[in-house]
Amino acid sequence: MPKGGVFAQSSTEASLGIPFSIAAYSLLTCIMAHVCDVVAGDFIHLIGDAHVNTSHTKAIQRQLQISQKPFPILKINPEKTKIDHLEASDLDLLDI
């Protein structure tokens, strides 16, 4: 088993579901690592069926034309060490 977490999803919509799941579960992985005082490992996302709704085709084509940017850096308030004490204001995204 790799260091980090594995998220298995049976089916998802590629243009909306996958980016949302990656962001949400990566955030959860970082928060859990923070409160456990360890470094977050890799986030592995296994997908059984990734599909594209035909109504999203034009939006996906536009999105593919956008240049990729570096990932932002997540900073979590170091004073908060319990997950149930964290609030949105304790999270900060840098370089976005």
Q: Which two tokens stand for residue 14?
A: 């590629």
pLDDT score recorded for residue 91 = 98
- Long-range contacts formed by 75-82: CB under 8 A, 24+ apart: 76/30, 76/31, 76/34, 80/34, 80/35, 81/34, 81/35, 81/37, 82/35
Beta pairing partners, 12: 50
77: Cβ contacts below 8 Å, ≥ 6 apart: 86, 90, 91
* Residue 82 token pair: 């319990």
Average pLDDT, the chain: 89
pLDDT band at 14; cut points 50, 70, 90: confident
pLDDT at residue 3 in the model: 62
Q: What residue has token string 């980090």?
A: 4
Give mean pLDDT, residues 9-37.
90
Which residue ranges make up each domain of the chain? 4-69
